[in-house]
Amino acid sequence: MSSNIKVKRICVYCSSEFVAQTTSTKYCSKKCNSAHYKTKVRAKKVERSNIETTQKKHKPIQDVQAKEFLSVKDVSFLLGCSIRSTYTFRKRRTRNRTQNKYFRLSMVNNNLIN
Ligand SMILES: [Zn+2]
Protein backbone atom coordinates (compact mmCIF):
# COMPACT_ATOMS: atom_id res chain seq x y z
CA MET A 1 0.00 0.00 0.00
CA SER A 2 1.53 3.29 -1.07
CA SER A 3 0.95 6.66 0.52
CA ASN A 4 1.57 10.25 -0.39
CA ILE A 5 4.46 10.71 2.02
CA LYS A 6 8.01 11.03 0.73
CA VAL A 7 10.79 9.98 3.11
CA LYS A 8 14.51 10.28 2.43
CA ARG A 9 16.25 7.00 3.26
CA ILE A 10 19.64 5.37 2.79
CA CYS A 11 19.72 1.93 1.17
CA VAL A 12 20.94 -0.83 3.52
CA TYR A 13 22.78 -2.60 0.68
CA CYS A 14 24.29 0.09 -1.59
CA SER A 15 24.22 3.04 0.87
CA SER A 16 22.75 5.40 -1.71
CA GLU A 17 20.13 7.94 -0.75
CA PHE A 18 16.64 7.46 -2.17
CA VAL A 19 13.10 8.66 -1.63
CA ALA A 20 10.82 6.08 -0.06
CA GLN A 21 7.04 6.09 0.14
CA THR A 22 6.88 4.26 3.48
CA THR A 23 8.92 4.61 6.66
CA SER A 24 9.79 0.91 6.75
CA THR A 25 11.47 0.76 3.32
CA LYS A 26 15.09 -0.37 3.61
CA TYR A 27 16.24 -0.75 0.00
CA CYS A 28 16.35 1.61 -2.97
CA SER A 29 15.27 -1.10 -5.43
CA LYS A 30 14.16 -4.70 -5.79
CA LYS A 31 17.65 -5.44 -7.13
CA CYS A 32 19.33 -4.23 -3.90
CA ASN A 33 16.80 -6.12 -1.80
CA SER A 34 17.51 -9.39 -3.68
CA ALA A 35 21.26 -8.87 -3.62
CA HIS A 36 21.27 -8.25 0.14
CA TYR A 37 19.05 -11.29 0.73
CA LYS A 38 21.38 -13.47 -1.35
CA THR A 39 24.38 -12.15 0.59
CA LYS A 40 22.72 -13.05 3.91
CA VAL A 41 21.73 -16.54 2.66
CA ARG A 42 25.27 -17.13 1.38
CA ALA A 43 26.76 -16.07 4.73
CA LYS A 44 24.41 -18.45 6.57
CA LYS A 45 25.41 -21.33 4.29
CA VAL A 46 29.11 -20.65 4.88
CA GLU A 47 28.55 -20.49 8.65
CA ARG A 48 26.53 -23.77 8.61
CA SER A 49 29.25 -25.44 6.55
CA ASN A 50 31.95 -24.28 8.96
CA ILE A 51 29.96 -25.64 11.92
CA GLU A 52 29.53 -29.01 10.15
CA THR A 53 33.25 -29.17 9.41
CA THR A 54 34.09 -28.44 13.04
CA GLN A 55 31.68 -31.14 14.24
CA LYS A 56 33.10 -33.71 11.80
CA LYS A 57 36.62 -32.77 12.88
CA HIS A 58 35.88 -33.38 16.59
CA LYS A 59 33.61 -36.43 16.15
CA PRO A 60 36.42 -39.06 16.09
CA ILE A 61 37.82 -37.69 19.38
CA GLN A 62 34.37 -37.79 21.01
CA ASP A 63 33.85 -41.36 19.78
CA VAL A 64 37.14 -42.49 21.30
CA GLN A 65 36.50 -40.65 24.57
CA ALA A 66 33.13 -42.41 24.92
CA LYS A 67 34.82 -45.82 25.09
CA GLU A 68 35.58 -47.41 28.44
CA PHE A 69 38.59 -49.31 27.11
CA LEU A 70 40.88 -48.03 24.40
CA SER A 71 42.85 -50.01 21.85
CA VAL A 72 46.45 -49.17 21.02
CA LYS A 73 45.25 -47.45 17.86
CA ASP A 74 42.78 -45.31 19.85
CA VAL A 75 45.48 -44.24 22.33
CA SER A 76 47.92 -43.35 19.59
CA PHE A 77 45.17 -41.27 17.96
CA LEU A 78 44.42 -39.46 21.25
CA LEU A 79 48.06 -38.84 22.08
CA GLY A 80 48.98 -37.94 18.53
CA CYS A 81 51.90 -40.38 18.46
CA SER A 82 52.74 -43.49 16.49
CA ILE A 83 51.36 -46.93 17.28
CA ARG A 84 54.92 -48.12 18.03
CA SER A 85 55.35 -45.37 20.67
CA THR A 86 52.06 -46.39 22.24
CA TYR A 87 53.22 -50.02 22.48
CA THR A 88 56.42 -48.82 24.18
CA PHE A 89 54.39 -46.65 26.53
CA ARG A 90 52.11 -49.60 27.38
CA LYS A 91 55.10 -51.88 27.96
CA ARG A 92 56.55 -49.43 30.50
CA ARG A 93 53.19 -48.90 32.25
CA THR A 94 52.30 -52.58 32.50
CA ARG A 95 55.73 -53.96 33.40
CA ASN A 96 54.75 -55.00 36.94
CA ARG A 97 51.10 -55.57 36.24
CA THR A 98 49.20 -58.14 34.32
CA GLN A 99 49.36 -57.49 30.61
CA ASN A 100 46.21 -55.85 29.35
CA LYS A 101 45.35 -55.66 25.74
CA TYR A 102 43.42 -52.42 26.21
CA PHE A 103 44.03 -49.11 27.97
CA ARG A 104 41.69 -47.47 30.40
CA LEU A 105 41.05 -43.83 29.54
CA SER A 106 41.94 -42.83 33.13
CA MET A 107 45.34 -44.49 32.70
CA VAL A 108 46.02 -42.38 29.60
CA ASN A 109 44.79 -39.20 31.27
CA ASN A 110 46.96 -39.82 34.38
CA ASN A 111 50.00 -40.32 32.20
CA LEU A 112 49.28 -37.13 30.27
CA ILE A 113 49.20 -35.15 33.52
CA ASN A 114 52.46 -36.68 34.85
ZN1 LIG B 1 20.43 0.15 -3.03
- 12: pLDDT strictly greater than 90: yes
Mean pLDDT is lowest, of 15-24, 69-78, 102-111, for 102-111
Quote the ligand 1 centre to 73 CA distance (angstroms).
Answer: 58
Quote the ligand 1 centre to 113 CA distance (angstroms).
Answer: 58
Quote the ligand 1 centre to 31 CA distance (angstroms).
Answer: 7
For the chain, the residue count is 114
Q: What is the pLDDT of residues 24-82, one digit of tens each?
A: 999 999 999 999 999 999 999 999 999 999 988 888 888 888 888 888 888 888 888 89
CB 37 within 8 A of CB 53: no
